[in-house]
A and B are shown apart, each in its own frame.
Chain A
Amino acid sequence: MATSKEMGGLHAESHATHGSSSHLHGEPYQPVFVGARRQELDELMTRYPTKMAVLLPALWMVQEDRGWISEAAMAEVGEVLSLTPAYVKGVVTFYTMYHQHPVGKHFIQVCTTSPCNVCGAEDVVNAFLTHTKCGELGVTSEDGRFTVIEVECLGACGFATPVMINSDFIESVTPEKVPDLLSKLT
């Protein structure tokens, strides 16, 4: 189902293959929760009285390992935590930070909520769109390196404009600093 884009490109799309992506490039799905990751998950479970409580941490582990959370991964998480895949999907789609399809190697999130907005955040967005050659919000660049989106308040309002690139949190970004920032990325 196509996500309604009424509220402005806040869910990134991608040029990568969609659909029942458990067979991306024809390869069978490889489970995440084996070996060390499984141990990590098991240890986490000891901190909570229910398995369900480990859902968000488990989804983070999937995203850290795979870059995004596929339907097959949702099914695996469900299996491991005794939850239905539909339930897991309902949770995944609620939280903005989980990617439901592959994104650019460098996922760039620029805060444009009012405190940053009055400090020129939109100019920062435009600078990223230009210099990454993405051109459009939410669309991955041709070379697959960048995706740029706007996000809501990142909680660093006094350090306008904050930007996240994957999990790197960078404060006080201005349009002038953008080319240099990008040049440091592989």
Chain B
Amino acid sequence: MADVKTINLTIEGRPVAVAEGTSLLEAARTVGVLIPHYCYHPGLPVAGVCRMCLVEVEKAPKLAPACATSVAEGQVVHVHSEPAREARKGVLEMLLINHPLDCPICDQAGECELQDYTFQEGRKDSRYKEPKRFNPVEDFGGDVMYVPNRCILCTRCVRFMDDVAQDPVLNVSERGDRAYIGKFEEKDLTHPWAGNVVELCPVGALLSKDFLNKARAWELDRTASICPNCTQGCNAIIETRDNVVVRMRPRANADVNEYFLCDAGRLDYRWMNGQNRLDLPKARQGGALADADWDVALGAAAAAIRGKRTVVVASPMLSNETLHLLARLIKATGGAGAFRVATGPEAPLPGVKDLALRAERAANVAGAELMGFTKTDTPFSGLVDGDVLVIADHTVTDADLAAANRAGAVVVIGTTMPAGLSRVEAVLPITNFSEEEGTFTNLRGRVQRFLQAKAAPGLARPSWFVLSDLLASLGQATDYFVPSDVFTALASSHAEFAGLSYDTIGLRGLPVLGAAQAAGAAP
């Protein structure tokens, strides 16, 4: 490892030791000092234009912009001394003179950095007596709308499109106080990653049309999760209000998605709230499939399976834990497992290493394959007469039905009821990923945890819980009370997962052993 020089300095009285070349802003962060800023973002090139981060450096003639100034040996830096605070107060005042009093109608309220810093350090009143600048709202295309009146011209959006998306479709137009964020008339913001500008915008100038006026930031519950919509496994935050998912936002992870989420993933959360859910267990009683207690339904499922060979067609959206238990089921009954995954065009984010909307549009393809499931376009074709088909939340198209209905019996373990199946013996309703806790394995073999974001409907239960009960009914030992118990069992029976646990995985994830081979060669 090359020797990087360490620089020692003092920030707000705290000793700091960081690598040479670190900015004052990042150096302050390492000792828990937040220097207020707007235009700076760790995922973007430095601009140094908002001037919020000006700090006092002893013996320097002028205040220094912390985001654009490198540490120097022996520097003594003050963030909250009077000159620095006065400078910030000045910036805030200037930002507010043309800023409309939109808080009551602005989506950003409650998660707005202009509100936050003004409340902390700004003036109590405005002394601006002149007419305010006005420009009408613009639709930028895609999911993005632009409210120029609120824009503080931090240029994060422009820098994101220029350097990270590498599609310079946004510009700063005009000059001086007439400046605004512009685009070319015919070219909309349709880049697959363009929605990140909404996330990056510190104020309510760039807004998500999807989220417009839907909920207030302070009403939301936030849960750490993983975007399930492709195999990239971007870290995400699921935000719910009254048990309904209303938004998905990126969660920073330097090893996976840095700070970003693609639009396709970000906007595809409505299915988590789908109303057409299985919420009651069912069992075939006297020739007809009827609602039943869990015990009865589990009993019916076990009875159908006992002594037969099972083919499990399992969704690649299921967690590692659930797939592990399904694999145990297959092993106990001498069957096979398969899945099909929907695909779409890949859309990389060129400015970040190895980040793309992946072609395979499901969260846990790698996990399914590690658990022994075969990826195929015809997952139902392995059925032989007399087999029991266990459908674990997998889609069943009309084209699949002929093959699926060759099964002697069908057990449905899922969130929705597939149509057209005959001989369904039991239906076990389960949670979708947003309603349970578990892990996914992404295309690079990274195991990542997701937490429960909302409650399941009706009597639906977590899939790993249902499968534990089912395995117990079939005489298999299962001692699982929490999902981490299942993971521990998984880790001890699959070499790739050896040594991993929920504690070690944490909220940043960890790669499985031999990750490169497991997922196919990384670029």
Contact = CB atoms under 8 A, between A and B. Distances in A.
Contact between chain A and chain B defined by CB under 8 Å: yes
Interface of A: 1-4, 6-7, 20, 71, 74-75, 83-87, 89-90, 93-94
Interface stretch (B167-175, B250-258, B342-350, B431-439): B167-175
The secondary structure that dominates the A interface is loop
Contact of B184 (A2, A7, A85): A85
B185 A4 contact: no
B136 A1 contact: yes
Contacts of B187: 84-86
A4 B173 contact: no
Contacts of A93: 171, 173-175, 182
Contacts of B138: 1
Contacts of B172: 90
A86 B180 CA distance: 13
A75 B184 contact: yes
8 closest pairs, A vs B, by CB? A90-B171, A85-B184, A86-B184, A93-B173, A84-B168, A86-B169, A4-B178, A87-B168
A1 B182 contact: yes
Contact-size category for B: 20 to 34
Contact of B175 (A75, A84, A94): A94
Nearest to B172: A90
Contacts of B186: 20, 71, 85
11 contacts: A1-B173, A3-B174, A4-B133, A4-B134, A4-B135, A71-B184, A85-B184, A86-B171, A86-B183, A87-B168, A89-B171
A75 B169 CA distance: 12
A93 B134 CA distance: 18
B99 to A, nearest CB: 15
B169 A84 contact: yes
Contacts of B135: 1-2, 4
Contacts of A75: 184
Given A3-B178, A87-B171, 9 more contacts: A2-B135, A7-B178, A71-B186, A83-B168, A86-B169, A89-B171, A89-B173, A89-B184, A93-B173
A6 B135 CA distance: 12
B351 to A, nearest CB: 15
A74 B136 CA distance: 24
Nearest to B138: A1
Interface of B: 133-136, 138, 148, 167-178, 180, 182-187
Given A84-B167, A87-B168, A89-B171, A1 B177 contact: no
A84 B177 contact: no
B158 to A, nearest CB: 8
Residue among A3, A6, A7 facing the most chain B CB atoms (10 A cut-off): A6
Contacts of B178: 3-4, 6-7
Residue among A87, A90, A94 facing the most chain B CB atoms (10 A cut-off): A90
Contacts of A4: 133-135, 177-178
A2 B149 CA distance: 13
Contacts of A94: 174-175
A125 B446 CA distance: 70
Nearest to A96: B175
Residue among B134, B174, B177 facing the most chain A CB atoms (10 A cut-off): B174
A56 B185 CA distance: 21
A87 B138 CA distance: 18
A6 B177 contact: yes
A20 B169 CA distance: 17
Contacts of A1: 135-136, 138, 148, 173, 180, 182
Contacts of A89: 171, 173, 182, 184
Nearest to A84: B168
